């Protein structure tokens, strides 16, 4: 008889329909309603990427693929999947409540984000813990998986494949931009948060495992809070790398994200591409991990190390 436990997969969440956008954005702003102009701006970005984001669909596919892989890997445990989102239903709390209703007393949690920050993964975990405490459910958290060999292998293969499209003699004129979502700088520094170090280690591992000659680290998708965020921003970085080195090819790997969604399809594929077009350089962005077996395998390995 297998032991039955919960698998709580947590992710950012995205509007399911246009009329969800305002409430979703208000939730991101901790309940403070954005201005009409900000809402219109966000709507325009969603429209630009085709109406809405593919994030909801891909999150479901990733969670199902992970649960299936875990059930194949563990002979003595049966994982039952629950999806809990940060900014839209089913919220993290809804998922924990469903576990309780199903009689689950133990669960493994994982956030669909590879690097740990107390402001990203840590805040998901805290919300899950607070709800689980009400029902006496024990949670084991995966904190990060950026260092897992299969995660690095996924991105390394994609980078080498992209490099193979660029003439060999121009590899010295090619740079890899490794990025994650920016966060407010003050918060990160005051809390000695591991987030910037984890991105740096990811960039180093990619440099060691690929044929790329030049690697730069950047931050993207920063919010508009009037305070400094982690930088350099990828757009600014693109311009300054071009001014300093005259690179002809820019390969963007937004490794802080795990699938195609607004922040990749707009902030990379539109905004960074605009800068590349301006400076006359070529823009490349390999396909995101989505449900690639190497990506799913990386999370399975990390779960095996904690549970
Ligand atoms: O495809 C989609 O529909 C949703 C894509 C999406 C992902 C995502 C991931 C992260 N965020 C993180 C932090 C912040 C902070 C603020 C913030 C604001 C937004 C807005 C949208 C949005 N984020 Fe997001 N984020 C995604 C979408 N994010 C939309 C609001 C408009 C805008 O600023 O563009 C700033 C809040 C504020 O204004 O006060 C902070 C972090 C991640 C990566 C980790 C994770 O996935 O949890 C960190 C995907």
- Closest C-alpha to ligand 1, atom 40: 183
**Residue 179: closest CA among 230, 249, 144, 225:** 230
DSSP state letter for 74: -
Residues 139 and 155 reside in one and the same domain:
no
- Sorting pLDDT into bands at 50, 70 and 90, what band is 112? very high
- Residue 182 CA to ligand 1 center (angstroms) comes to 9
CA max distance for the chain: 64
Q: Terminus-to-terminus CA distance in the chain, angstroms?
A: 18
Is the same domain home to 299 and 268?
no
The answer to whether residues 186 and 128 belong to one domain is: no
Q: How far is the CA of 210 from the centre of ligand 1 (A)?
A: 30
Same domain, 73 and 49: yes
Q: In terms of pTM, does the model score above 0.75? A: yes
Q: Which atom of ligand 1 is found nearest the CA of 24?
A: 29
Pair 174, 254 in one domain: yes
DSSP string, 276-294: HHHHT-EEE-PPP-TT-HH
With pLDDT > 90 as the criterion, what percentage of the chain qualifies?
98
Nearest to 252 by CA among 206, 195, 298, 184: 206
Domain of 221, CATH number, reads 3.40.50.1400
pLDDT score, position 224: 82
Asked if 23 and 39 count as a contact pair (C-beta separation under 8 A), the reply is no
Tell me which residue range forms the domain holding 159. 149-284
- What is the tens place of the pLDDT at every residue in 52-74? 999 999 999 999 999 999 999 99
């Amino acid at each position: 008889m297998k032991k039955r436990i919960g698998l709580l997969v947590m992710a950012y969440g995205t509007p399911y329909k246009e009329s969800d956008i305002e409430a979703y954005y208000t939730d991101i702003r901790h309940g403070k309603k954005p201005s009409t102009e900000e809402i219109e701006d966000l709507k325009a970005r969603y429209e630009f990427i085709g109406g809405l984001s593919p994030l909801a669909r891909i999150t479901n596919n990733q969670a199902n693929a992970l649960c299936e892989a875990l059930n194949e890997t563990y002979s003595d445990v049966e994982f039952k999947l629950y999806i809990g989102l940060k900014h839209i239903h089913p919220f993290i709390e809804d998922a924990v409540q469903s576990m309780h209703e199903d009689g689950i007393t133990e669960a493994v949690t994982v956030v669909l984000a590879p690097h740990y920050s107390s402001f990203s993964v840590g805040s998901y975990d805290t919300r899950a813990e607070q709800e689980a405490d009400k029902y006496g459910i024990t949670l084991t958290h995966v904190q990060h998986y950026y260092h897992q060999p299969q995660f690095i292998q996924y991105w390394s293969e994609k980078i080498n494949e992209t490099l193979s499209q660029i003439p060999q003699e121009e590899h010295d004129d090619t740079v890899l931009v490794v990025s994650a979502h920016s966060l407010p700088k003050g918060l990160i520094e005051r809390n000695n948060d591991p987030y910037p170090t984890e991105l740096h280690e990811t960039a180093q591992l990619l440099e060691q495992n690929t044929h790329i000659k030049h690697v730069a680290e950047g931050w993207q998708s920063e919010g508009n809070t009037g305070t400094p965020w982690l930088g350099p921003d990828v757009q600014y970085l693109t311009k300054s790398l071009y001014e300093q080195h005259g690179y002809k090819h820019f390969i963007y790997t937004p490794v802080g994200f795990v699938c195609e969604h607004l922040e990749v399809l707009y902030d990379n594929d539109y905004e960074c591409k605009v800068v590349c077009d301006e400076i006359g350089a070529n823009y490349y962005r390999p396909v995101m991990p989505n449900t690639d077996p190497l990506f799913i395998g990386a999370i399975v390995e990390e779960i095996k190390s904690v549970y």
